[in-house]
Amino acid sequence: MEASPNTNKILQILTQTYPELPIPLKHRNAFELLIAVILSAQCTDARVNTVTPKLFPNDRPCAAADILKLGEDQVRKIIYPCGYYNSKTKAIMGCAHALLNKEVSSNFQELTALPGVGAKTAQVVQAQAFGIDAFPVDTHVHRVCNRLGLADSGKNRDKTERQVKATISQKHWSRLHLELIYHGRALCTARKPKCSECPLNKLCPSSEA
């Protein structure tokens, strides 16, 4: 896929529209972010942010030993509201065992070697905990990229990632990831996108405005 002729203008408008980009998942260290991202699969960030305070210590950042001390049954009970609690509990306990007395790595291969950690989770940790240029693709990012013509990948999120990385400079990846999330939540929603309110409507091939 070739870069859209509107790509640079789209990037410019997104940055103007979303000048402040707070990280959606609350965390105090890389381990907390890793666990929060695991919990966020098929779950809203807002709900994750109500669950993690019950999972993590109040007075200090969470470490693997804290999760192991809670135990599998208690972890499962706490994270139940996030859905898919059995598989998420397995991943969280697996990560806690693997990272006992260790720091979370910034290396992609080491991150994806952890239980339940795929490319998207690893890249969120790289970008938001370590400041590494990365482009994780979630449902919002995938949807908005295809609507804007930044990707043409059907239902294949991996293809969306490859296409965007091939046509957009690496220095933009991490910021663009967050801009697309915020845009997908605020305006380019899955159902009934607010095209008439969107600052990109004149550049968007999917615009209904």
pLDDT band, very low/low/confident/very high, at 209 (cuts 50, 70, 90): low
Above 70 in pLDDT, residue 182?
yes
The encoded tokens of residue 145 equal: 């990229």
Looking at the chain, the domain(s) classified CATH 1.10.1670.10 span 7-21+134-197
In this prediction, residue 37 carries a pLDDT of: 98
**pLDDT tens sequence across 53-101:** 999 999 999 999 999 999 999 999 999 999 999 999 999 999 999 999 9
- Which fold would CATH assign to domain 7-21+134-197? Endonuclease Iii, domain 2 (1.10.1670)
Burial of 152 (0-12, 13-18, 19+ CB in 10 A): middle
In this prediction, residue 31 carries a pLDDT of: 98
What gap in Å lies between CA 126 and CA 108, rounded to an integer? 8
Active-site annotation, residues: 120, 138
**pLDDT tens sequence across 159-174:** 999 999 999 999 999 9
Q: What separation in angstroms does the CA of 176 have from each of 12, 42, 83, 99, 183?
A: 10, 21, 28, 30, 10
What gap in Å lies between CA 184 and CA 144, rounded to an integer? 6
In this prediction, residue 176 carries a pLDDT of: 98
Above 90 in pLDDT, residue 23?
yes
**pLDDT tens sequence across 188-198:** 999 999 999 99
Q: What's this model's pTM, rounded to 2 decimal places?
A: 0.94
Above 80 in pLDDT, residue 4?
no
Q: What separation in angstroms does the CA of 85 have from each of 14, 47, 184, 186?
A: 35, 13, 26, 28
One-letter amino acid for residue 195 of the chain: C
Looking at the chain, the domain(s) classified CATH 1.10.340.30 span 30-130
**pLDDT tens sequence across 89-146:** 999 999 999 999 999 999 999 999 999 999 999 999 999 999 999 999 999 999 999 9
Q: Please, what is the end-to-end C-alpha distance for the chain in angstroms?
A: 26
Q: Identify the CATH class of 30-130.
A: mainly alpha
Give the count of alpha carbons within 13 A of 2, CB side only: 3
In this prediction, residue 134 carries a pLDDT of: 98
In this prediction, residue 197 carries a pLDDT of: 97
